[in-house]
A and B are shown apart, each in its own frame.
Chain A
Amino acid sequence: MKIPADWLNQFLSKPLDTRELAEALERAGVEVEKIEYAQALDKLIVVGLVKKVVQHPRADSLKLTQVDVGGRILAIVCGAPNVAVGMKVAVAPVGAKLPDGMEIKAVSLRGEVSQGMLCSARELGLSDDHSGIMVLDPTLLLGTTLCDIWPASDILDVTTAMNRSDLTSLWGLSREVAAQSGRRVMEPQAGELPSGEAPAVKLAAGKRVRRFLAVRLNLPPVGPSPAAMQKRLAASGLRPINAVVDITNYVMWEYGQPLHAFDAAKLNLPLTVRSARPGETLVTLDGQRRQLTEQDMVVADQTGPVGLAGVMGGAGTEITTATSAIILEAATFSPAGVRKTALHHGLRSEASSRFERGLPTQLPPLALARAVQLLQEWAGAEVVGGVADIELDSDKATRVVKASATQVTGLLGLTLSPSRLRTELNKLDLATTTVGDNLTVRVPWWRPDLTMAADMAEEVVKLIGYEQVPSTLPPWRPVEVEFDNYSDLIWQIKDRLVGLGHFEVATYAFVSARQLQQQGHKLQRHLQLRNPKSSEQAYLRSDLLPSLLDAAARNQNYAKRFGLFEISRVFTVNGKTSGPTESIHLAVLVRDDRLAYAGVKQVLDLLERELRVELTVAPQVHPALHPARAARVKLGTAAIGWIGEVDPRLLRPLKLDGAGYIELDLEQLVAAARPPRYQATNPYPPVKRDITLLAPRRVGWVEIERATRVLDLAKVTFNGDYYGSELPPDTKTITLRLELSASDRTLTDTEADERVVKLVHHLEKSLGISLRE
């Protein structure tokens, strides 16, 4: 919300400079996003009257105007769509400097000389509005310098808390500033609302409308609002439109209460607040035709909806220059109702954002009286009859909150006497009495957010300042301690993977249907977003392969070989009724054109040793992995992941030449981790023998290792294998290193040879493996 500093100061008994205003607001919890310091307009910029407008002979979008700037007529070429004879406008003649630093020069536009420029609000540095030239108050004298009638004001751009409806107004903000700075609040004094025959109004929207006021006013033809009001509205980011609309906006800024004016001639009373009926439509003031549903609350006349209640008025009853009578509405709508309507139409207005915070029922009559006063004063309006006022339910004028001083100060960690608390709270019109430790606080209607001791604590600490709060540490007296055996292991694994040269990456958790289907996933096993940012991010991943493949593809020019890993939760859905399942996965992808599988098998071997678990690799087909190089990873009988090479058909379109991949359920893996266990070291050096065996290709190392382990004749390690074409069909050779030892002596060569023969014999019998001669 943009707040001109001079306007806010008008609500204070003594003005503050802009920096002091900003500091007071910040201390009160109002965030000052930006301060725009005023820049006085160039004295050359004056009020002019458009005397003549003709089409430029050689440019469709330009017009030639004659503008009287008080004794002198300037010929100005103008491109604004709204320029018309009789308008009072802001004229920047040749030599004038605009706030953005541009100097007006005598130019020839398509052969027509222009002696100046007619300015839009943006060109005057007032707002972002550049839709046309700014139309000024018709009563201004020609030739008046604008910087004299528009004293420059700094602008504070503020954000306020969602639970503070009172702070969406100058009145509310000034209460905070006054309390922080020792000023008094000078709110506008509006008269009594007239009584008499009132416009007919019916409320039929249940609890969604709480109070509704309407009054009829007759007026002379509607012109622009006074220059000072226009300036303030423009500075507040509100586009000046005409006197009636501007006054409703002006009062909304003052009081926080949205108002709406209907052209009375276009209404068939009574006005009814009701739910929209199926099939009804409404063209709103922004020119959009809106299809209404029963969820929408509307203000309607006999012919149909004339406004989206609390959100935006209808174009059909808009105030125009021809308007001679208006119905002015001030209402309290329920926050949820307005919010639903606004969300449904994607239409957030200044009005709806205020209603959504919940406005008190005390506000509409105050704002209405102020608007009537301003309409009388500035638009020559006369009230016809009296005010309709239906109040279905009302907020309390004051509520009592009881709290103990000990509770309030204890929550803050500050030592403050009850009387000090009373003094502070009274600054905010929170009339407080104390009896001993007990505080009784009378909370006025504009502070519905204050209901308990903690709220009082917050108001007090804002007033005395957070810098007064000491820094202490809470005592810690745990009853038991829960130790974390998990995080350390995860970090240990990460460190080991980094030691192998791999990169930890973090990737987005949402993937596309295309990615999932390409990798052979069933879509129905995946959680799907109802409101994704794009179809590329519509599903929650059930494994990390899509993300790591994408990451590898993005980095294909980084190096010929690199490894990536990620630890993340993944999500699956099992059946329609059961909820989602989450598990934490570790995935490693090694890009390598030759030794892709070895790159990830190394990871698996590392994990086995680091965590002292036994993992089995059981060949099995996986839709995204190489048809002959894919296996389940098992921990005991539980399948906890996959290992293999990524299917080259998936890699080719990504321009990757080879990639190994392993993905494991990290929780199951880490749960199986064991600490080291001591084994006596043998002081007698082992006898070493290398033997080469001829084995069927289907026999894996793991089977040989198991078979020899059972025998316990030697420590057997893998020393390489060979798949030469000169070998008998379907065979390979495998070289083993044997370390043969006894616990009480070094074996003799003969003893060692006997053991080797025994071992080979066993392998021959059990696996069909023979010694290669």
Chain B
Amino acid sequence: MTPAELKSALVQIAVGSKDQRQLETLRVKYLGRRGIITRALRAVGKLPASERAAAGAAANQARGEIEAAVRAAQDRLLGVSLAAAGNSAPIDLTAPVPVPLGHLHPVSQLLRQLVEIFWQMGYTVVDGPEIETEWYNFEALNIVSDHPARDMQDTFYLEGEHKLLPRTQTSPVQIRYMETHRPPLRIISPGKVYRNEDEDATHSWMFYQVEGLVVDEGVSLADLKGTLLMVMRGLLGSSTKVRLRPSYFPYTEPSVELDATCIICNGQGCQTCSGSGWLELLGAGMVHPDVLRRVKIDPAKYSGFAFGFGPERIAAIKYGVPDVREFWRPNLNFLEQF
């Protein structure tokens, strides 16, 4: 095969085949058992020894080039037929495909985020029973019976002589923890709590609470403010600001409420924050010395702060849910949005 013949063969293969059948005919013509190249290769053996090497190399070279040309032509023709498949076997590239993906409960997502934040700040997550005694739920926290402070947390009671109750707050977990651990302490206790209250758009009789407690030497109200500032920044964004307002809880002194700048309007004032630019998010305070004394921590040496907040409320604000009862209604049309 002369160089000119080879060139013509390559051109023929590259452009002369209109379909796979024509290409196959060409392939057989050159590479088939009786093909031109095959015969040429076979003929090499009959040549004088001195010519064999050069002729063999040339024939092999030609075979390689023709094979490559056939492969390239095959890909070209395949490309044409793949493009045609757009008509013969069409796929709507924009059509949706069902995703068998479930959904985490929005409050549980928020709890997870909170726990991650507190872990990064060195807090231990502590769990405790939901059925409590009056001692742990009330008396250990300075909420004596026959005092109107009890009315702040309307309580369910259980039948039976033990005077047990579904806890109204997760603070009993803190008392139990302080009974078995010595300062320095840094914990949060997320969990469900129960209140015998009428339900409305901002109250349900069962809800989650996340309470935190820090006890160490020299812990101050400024530490409380700084800690909650960081927590709120972690949760709501790094430009969040906080403010404290005076409040009253029997188990803290001083007691405060903490507001954070509204995440909807960035503190400009909107419907969510009733125009104030602030969201009321937490109750907190410096642990009352009597609470420390009861768990045998010396209030002259140690001080601490405690705080508590409701993830439902934060989730409601964050996701724009107008009614917290939605979280407790297992409505899949609601839950699939999270």
Chain A interfacial positions (CB closer than 8 Å to B): 26-29, 161-164, 335-336, 339-340, 353, 356-357, 410-414, 452, 454-455, 457-458, 461-462, 466-467, 469-479, 481-482, 484, 487, 491, 494-495, 497-510, 527-533, 540, 547, 550-551, 554-555, 558-559, 562-564, 568-569, 571, 579-580, 582
Besides the contacts A27-B246, A509-B166, A558-B332, what 5 more A-B pairs have beta carbons closer than 8 Å? Answer: A164-B248, A414-B222, A503-B335, A504-B108, A504-B335
The answer to whether B5 has its CB under 8 Å from any CB of chain A is no
Which 8 residue pairs of A and B lie closest in terms of their CB atoms, listed nearest first? A413-B222, A413-B220, A29-B246, A161-B248, A458-B254, A551-B330, A501-B100, A336-B146
The answer to whether B230 has its CB under 8 Å from any CB of chain A is yes
Residue of B nearest to A30 (CB): B246
- Contact B335 A540, beta carbon cutoff 8 Å: no
The answer to whether B1 has its CB under 8 Å from any CB of chain A is no
What is the number of contacts between chain A and chain B, taking CB atoms within 8 Å?
229
A466 → chain B closest CB, angstroms = 4
Q: Which residues from B are CB-within-8-Å of A471? A: 222, 225-226, 229, 242
Q: Give the residues from 51 to 104 in chain B that come closer than 8 angstroms, CB to CB, to chain A.
A: 100-104
- Contact B131 A503, beta carbon cutoff 8 Å: no
The answer to whether B186 has its CB under 8 Å from any CB of chain A is yes
Bound complex: CA A569 to CA B190 (Å): 13
Residue of A nearest to B112 (CB): A491
Interface pairs (26), CB distance under 8 Å: A163-B250, A164-B248, A410-B220, A410-B303, A413-B222, A414-B221, A454-B253, A469-B225, A474-B223, A474-B227, A477-B184, A478-B122, A498-B103, A499-B101, A503-B332, A504-B103, A504-B105, A508-B206, A509-B192, A527-B164, A529-B158, A531-B157, A540-B166, A569-B130, A571-B131, A580-B158
The answer to whether B247 has its CB under 8 Å from any CB of chain A is yes
Q: Which residues from A are CB-within-8-Å of B105? A: 504-506
A557 → chain B closest CB, angstroms = 9
CB < 8 Å neighbour of B164 from A163, A335, A412, A579? A579
CB < 8 Å neighbour of B102 from A497, A530, A551? A497
- Contact B335 A505, beta carbon cutoff 8 Å: yes
Q: Which one of A473, A495, A558 has the highest number of Cβ atoms from chain B below 10 Å of its Cβ? A: A473
A355 → chain B closest CB, angstroms = 10
B242 → chain A closest CB, angstroms = 8
Q: Which residues from B are CB-within-8-Å of A580? A: 131, 158, 164
Bound complex: CA A500 to CA B286 (Å): 45
Stretch at the interface among B11-19, B35-43, B211-219: B211-219
Residue of B nearest to A497 (CB): B102
Binary flags per residue of B220-245, CB closer than 8 Å to A gives 1, else 0: 11110111011000000000001111
- Contact A339 B147, beta carbon cutoff 8 Å: yes
- Contact B332 A555, beta carbon cutoff 8 Å: yes
Q: Which residues from A are CB-within-8-Å of B115? A: 487
CB < 8 Å neighbour of A558 from B107, B156, B247, B333? B333
B246 → chain A closest CB, angstroms = 3
- Contact A474 B214, beta carbon cutoff 8 Å: yes
CB < 8 Å neighbour of B226 from A466, A473, A481, A505? A473
A36 → chain B closest CB, angstroms = 16
The answer to whether B162 has its CB under 8 Å from any CB of chain A is yes
The answer to whether B319 has its CB under 8 Å from any CB of chain A is no
Bound complex: CA A462 to CA B255 (Å): 11
Bound complex: CA A478 to CA B125 (Å): 15
Binary flags per residue of B121-150, CB closer than 8 Å to A gives 1, else 0: 010110001110000000000000011110
Bound complex: CA A472 to CA B229 (Å): 9
Q: Which one of A26, A164, A528, A530 has the highest number of Cβ atoms from chain B below 10 Å of its Cβ? A: A530
- Contact B246 A505, beta carbon cutoff 8 Å: no
A17 → chain B closest CB, angstroms = 19
Q: Is the interface on chain B under 10, 10 to 19, 20 to 34, or 35 or more residues? A: 35 or more
- Contact B248 A29, beta carbon cutoff 8 Å: yes
Q: Which residues from A are CB-within-8-Å of B288? A: 454
The answer to whether B200 has its CB under 8 Å from any CB of chain A is no
Q: Which residues from A are CB-within-8-Å of B256? A: 466
Bound complex: CA A352 to CA B135 (Å): 26
- Contact B303 A411, beta carbon cutoff 8 Å: yes
The answer to whether B327 has its CB under 8 Å from any CB of chain A is yes
The answer to whether B289 has its CB under 8 Å from any CB of chain A is yes
Q: Which residues from A are CB-within-8-Å of B148? A: 162, 335, 339, 353, 356-357
CB < 8 Å neighbour of A339 from B107, B146, B230, B247? B146
Bound complex: CA A505 to CA B105 (Å): 6
Q: Which residues from A are CB-within-8-Å of B242? A: 471
Bound complex: CA A458 to CA B254 (Å): 5
Q: Which residues from A are CB-within-8-Å of B103? A: 498, 503-504
The answer to whether B298 has its CB under 8 Å from any CB of chain A is no
Q: Which residues from B are CB-within-8-Å of A540? A: 131, 158, 166
Q: Which residues from B are CB-within-8-Å of A458? A: 246, 253-255
Do A528 and B223 form a contact, CB below 8 Å, given A466-B245, A476-B122, A551-B330? no
Residue of A nearest to B218 (CB): A410
CB < 8 Å neighbour of B192 from A162, A462, A527, A569? A569
Q: Which residues from A are CB-within-8-Å of B307? A: none
Q: Which residues from A are CB-within-8-Å of B303? A: 410-411
The answer to whether B179 has its CB under 8 Å from any CB of chain A is no
Bound complex: CA A564 to CA B220 (Å): 45
Q: Which one of A471, A472, A475, A510 has the highest number of Cβ atoms from chain B below 10 Å of its Cβ? A: A471
CB < 8 Å neighbour of B196 from A27, A340, A531, A555? A531
Q: Which residues from B are CB-within-8-Å of A547? A: 330
Q: Give the residues from 278 to 305 in chain B that come closer than 8 angstroms, CB to CB, to chain A.
A: 286, 288-289, 303
- Contact B330 A507, beta carbon cutoff 8 Å: yes
Do A457 and B162 form a contact, CB below 8 Å, given A161-B248, A474-B227, A582-B130? no
- Contact B247 A507, beta carbon cutoff 8 Å: no
Q: Which residues from A are CB-within-8-Å of B100? A: 500-501
B77 → chain A closest CB, angstroms = 35
CB < 8 Å neighbour of B330 from A27, A528, A555, A569? A555
The answer to whether B194 has its CB under 8 Å from any CB of chain A is yes
CB < 8 Å neighbour of A478 from B119, B184, B196, B253? B184
- Contact B156 A532, beta carbon cutoff 8 Å: yes
